[in-house]
Chain A
Amino acid sequence: MTATNRPASRLRAENLTLSYDQRTVASDLDVEIPDRSFTVVVGPNACGKSTLLTALARMLKPRAGQVYLDGAAIASYRSREVARRLGLLPQSSTAPGGITVGDLVARGRYPHQGLLKQWSADDEAAVVEAMRQTGVLELADRPVDDLSGGQRQRVWLSMVLAQQTEILLLDEPTTFLDIAHQVEVLDLCAELHARRGHTIVAVLHDLNQACRYATHLIVMRPGGIVAAEGDPSTVMTAELVEDVFGLPCRIIPDPETGTPLMVPAAPKGYAPARVTGTTDADADADTDVDGTASGNGPAASDTAMAKTS
């Protein structure tokens, strides 16, 4: 899948072999990130999707092959130069103790600063805009330590935005967030993509979120192999999910957006518990028939009784 009949993308990887110590995560991997796309990378655990992202951001040196940024090998750039063109939101970062939100976001300006140029008008404008976009401007004076997980993730995202790069790599930006904050972060990314024309590459776990937000979907299978890529509506099929994830499923249109929605198949003989206002004891009786919950049945009804009393 390396058809290059159009001009080469700003960010692409050729023949990548990626490994940690002795363990090879991917070999001969070719990836091209379409310019101005919202590319989402999905795949089972340990398939090398995060590894690919770290390689694209030159955090991991490939054992073989090369990542190209704007036509030149990414390793040939100075670190600072890469940081002006490409931003990365890692899976985890450490906020220095006691730092305020504003000061942390301001650190995103590091690649644009120097010893005698520590806080230019551009820096200020970029930071304020980034904080506005993510809605953390009001929190500017608060210590990062005091924030909730969702707020903190928006602060980190804000720091990457302040870097003002046109390419953004996001490594599982929704991990550790509750569903509302996940949607919020992804909506924000979609907005940045649509309004600013940023190229966004995100690693996500949730296939349905991936299908909803991606303009270009890359599905990887273990061993760092691209199983399929392209528009989610054509890529996402029940056969592919079963093949890559080993999960039987149905694909239906998302009632909100019309994008593919993956619904896992129920196990054979599955009968959903009745929740029609009956007591828990009834539900226990149901499961007891299967002979699966005979051990915890009494305990469960104990707690049910404790609740009612």
Chain B
Amino acid sequence: MTAVREAKASAPDPTPRGRPGGATVPDLPRVITGRVVRTRSGTVSLRVQGRTVAATAALLVALLVVAGITLTTGDFDLSVGEVVQALTGNGTGIADFVVNTLRMPRLVTALCVGAALAVSGAILQSITGNPLGSPDIIGFTNGSAVGALVVIVMLHGSMTEIALGALVGGLGTALAVHLLMIGRGIQGFRLVVVGIGVSALLLAVNSYLITRATFQEALEAQSWLIGSLGNRLWIHAQAIGIAVAVLLPLAFFLSRRLSMVEMGDTTAMALGVDVSRTRTVLLVISVALAAFATAVTGPIWFVALAAPQVARKITGSSGPALLPSALMGAVMLALSDLAVQRIFAPALLPVGTATGCVGGLYLIWLLVTESRKSRA
């Protein structure tokens, strides 16, 4: 029998480490990161990454702080107590109006849209294995814009009809991109390249539609095209809220499989993951999230691109950190909205300008660092 030359050397010395690692079998060295929580019977065992938990907690705190500032400050300052009273239905008339009619719907919309965009981006980036694979880069957002512009310019629809148009446009674009790739599988780089091409095409369609419009229509189109959270009512918050409530848990449920798919189709399949089904379902979730978000607020750039990457960095996660991404997106968008409302007041700056500025800088940084390290 042949001897294993180098392997033998490691057999003794099970190097136990001082890490308090939950209930582990003695004698076995710890080989994985994070903590393990196990019930005594062993029926339930969970892996918990300390850094992810800490980052998630920090993001939750940040979210509460941003929400608190958004609800208490503005043209009409309120105390935290007044806000809480208003939220529980015991507020005075004016506080009730300011909180429940003006500020809350806008805040909830911002949080849900931010979370939806971030998770949409996280899924797409993971599937394509490319940080540029986000719905705003590969054309889904522009597709939504075409749908909305058609409604504004040609059908003169209402706000709800514009949203529906955006939804149809986004989903239709995803379908078109998918058809362009058919028979070749959903390969990351190709999806990004095809998507960028489709995106440019759709942008041209948008410009054409605006030249066809009257001055009034063009103004309305333009204000929709710069994503905005202004004048968002409960109906908007509810629409995106329901989408997020249904789709996010589904995405979280599939995230373990998604992290396996990141290792390559063959490897994931060899480990028992139904790769093509997983990917199709997640792609549909991602597209739907982006389309709903865009339908409610108009295109908001770069949240989907940046939030998942930042979330991955701060959690140090080797997989798609969907929950931290969602929180990161929510905080980013709520914070951007707070900034445009307070810093530039009384000018009514749409939130899209803020995310666009921050995101543009981020994109430059991303491209520079990506081109330095060539990806295998």
Chain A neighbourhood of B15, CB < 8 A: 137-138
Chain A neighbourhood of B3, CB < 8 A: 187, 191
**What sequence of 0s and 1s flags, for each residue 1-42 of chain B, a beta carbon within 8 Å of any chain A beta carbon?**
111111111110011000000001100111111001010001
Residue of B nearest to A186 (CB): B2
- B364 proximal to A (CB < 8 A): no
B25 touches A125 (CB 8 A): yes
**What sequence of 0s and 1s flags, for each residue 89-117 of chain A, a beta carbon within 8 Å of any chain B beta carbon?**
11111111111111101111011000111
A124 touches B46 (CB 8 A): no
Interface size class of B (residues with CB under 8 A): 35 or more
How many residue pairs between the two chains, A and B, have CB atoms under 8 Å in the bound complex? 159
- B319 proximal to A (CB < 8 A): yes
A96 touches B47 (CB 8 A): no
**What sequence of 0s and 1s flags, for each residue 270-283 of chain B, a beta carbon within 8 Å of any chain A beta carbon?**
11111000000000
Instruction: Mark out the residues of chain B between 244 and 289 whose CB falls within 8 Å of any chain A CB in the assembled complex.
Output: 253, 256, 259-260, 262-264, 266-267, 269-274
Evaluate whether A96 and B24 lie within 8 angstroms (CB atoms) in the complex, with A120-B42, A120-B45, A191-B2 already known: no
Other-chain residue from B14, B46, B272 in contact with A110 (beta carbon distance below 8 A): B272
Evaluate whether A96 and B25 lie within 8 angstroms (CB atoms) in the complex, with A127-B31, A132-B11, A184-B6 already known: no
B129 touches A94 (CB 8 A): yes
Interface centre among A135, A141, A190 (most CB of B within 10 A): A135
- Residues of chain B at the chain A interface (Cβ within 8 Å): 1-11, 14-15, 24-25, 28-33, 36, 38, 42-47, 129, 183, 253, 256, 259-260, 262-264, 266-267, 269-274, 316, 318-319, 376
Q: Tell me, rounded to whole Å, the shortest Cβ–Cβ distance linking B102 to chain A.
A: 41
- Residues of chain A at the chain B interface (Cβ within 8 Å): 21, 54, 57-59, 78-84, 87-103, 105-108, 110-111, 115-121, 123-125, 127-128, 131-138, 140-141, 160, 163, 184, 187-188, 190-191, 194-195
User: In whole angstroms, how far apart are the Cα atoms of A121 and B22 in the complex?
Assistant: 12
Q: Tell me, rounded to whole Å, the shortest Cβ–Cβ distance linking B26 to chain A.
A: 11
Evaluate whether A107 and B263 lie within 8 angstroms (CB atoms) in the complex, with A79-B272, A118-B47, A184-B5 already known: yes
Instruction: Jot down 10 A-B pairs with beta carbons below 8 A, ordered by A.
Output: A87-B270, A116-B43, A116-B45, A118-B46, A128-B28, A128-B29, A135-B7, A135-B9, A138-B10, A188-B7
Residue of B nearest to A140 (CB): B31
A88 touches B376 (CB 8 A): no
Q: Tell me, rounded to whole Å, the shortest Cβ–Cβ distance linking B52 to chain A.
A: 13
Residue of B nearest to A213 (CB): B2
Chain B neighbourhood of A102, CB < 8 A: 30-33
Chain B neighbourhood of A136, CB < 8 A: 10
Residue of A nearest to B257 (CB): A110
B33 touches A188 (CB 8 A): no
Chain B neighbourhood of A99, CB < 8 A: 318
Q: Tell me, rounded to whole Å, the shortest Cβ–Cβ distance linking B309 to chain A.
A: 11
Q: Tell me, rounded to whole Å, the shortest Cβ–Cβ distance linking B125 to chain A.
A: 12
Chain A neighbourhood of B272, CB < 8 A: 78-84, 110-111
Chain B neighbourhood of A80, CB < 8 A: 272
B376 touches A94 (CB 8 A): yes
B31 touches A131 (CB 8 A): yes
Chain A neighbourhood of B29, CB < 8 A: 128, 137, 140
Q: Tell me, rounded to whole Å, the shortest Cβ–Cβ distance linking A19 to chain B.
A: 14
B318 touches A103 (CB 8 A): yes
Other-chain residue from A57, A125, A191 in contact with B1 (beta carbon distance below 8 A): A191
Other-chain residue from B10, B11, B36, B263 in contact with A95 (beta carbon distance below 8 A): B263
User: In whole angstroms, how far apart are the Cα atoms of A87 and B14 in the complex?
Assistant: 26
User: In whole angstroms, how far apart are the Cα atoms of A21 and B184 in the complex?
Assistant: 9
Q: Is the interface of A mostly helix, strand, loop or mixed?
A: helix
Chain B neighbourhood of A121, CB < 8 A: 25, 38, 42
Q: Tell me, rounded to whole Å, the shortest Cβ–Cβ distance linking B235 to chain A.
A: 35
Chain B neighbourhood of A91, CB < 8 A: 266
B6 touches A124 (CB 8 A): no
Residue of A nearest to B129 (CB): A94
Interface centre among B24, B45, B47 (most CB of A within 10 A): B45
Chain A neighbourhood of B42, CB < 8 A: 120-121
Residue of A nearest to B49 (CB): A103
Other-chain residue from B7, B262, B270 in contact with A132 (beta carbon distance below 8 A): B7
Evaluate whether A135 and B6 lie within 8 angstroms (CB atoms) in the complex, with A95-B263, A110-B271, A117-B44 already known: yes
A119 touches B318 (CB 8 A): no
B264 touches A92 (CB 8 A): yes
Interface centre among B43, B267, B270 (most CB of A within 10 A): B270
B263 touches A96 (CB 8 A): yes
Interface centre among B32, B316, B376 (most CB of A within 10 A): B32
Interface centre among A89, A116, A119, A123 (most CB of B within 10 A): A119
B260 touches A110 (CB 8 A): yes
A90 touches B264 (CB 8 A): yes
A194 touches B271 (CB 8 A): no
Q: Tell me, rounded to whole Å, the shortest Cβ–Cβ distance linking A108 to chain B.
A: 7
User: In whole angstroms, how far apart are the Cα atoms of A190 and B4 in the complex?
Assistant: 9
B45 touches A118 (CB 8 A): yes
Q: Tell me, rounded to whole Å, the shortest Cβ–Cβ distance linking B15 to chain A.
A: 8
Chain A neighbourhood of B319, CB < 8 A: 96
User: In whole angstroms, how far apart are the Cα atoms of A118 and B42 in the complex?
Assistant: 10
B273 touches A79 (CB 8 A): yes
User: In whole angstroms, how far apart are the Cα atoms of A131 and B43 in the complex?
Assistant: 25
B4 touches A188 (CB 8 A): yes
Residue of A nearest to B46 (CB): A118
Chain A neighbourhood of B260, CB < 8 A: 107, 110
User: In whole angstroms, how far apart are the Cα atoms of A84 and B271 in the complex?
Assistant: 8
User: In whole angstroms, how far apart are the Cα atoms of A110 and B274 in the complex?
Assistant: 12
Chain A neighbourhood of B14, CB < 8 A: 128, 137
Other-chain residue from A81, A119, A134 in contact with B47 (beta carbon distance below 8 A): A119
Q: Tell me, rounded to whole Å, the shortest Cβ–Cβ distance linking A105 to chain B.
A: 7
Q: Tell me, rounded to whole Å, the shortest Cβ–Cβ distance linking A127 to chain B.
A: 6
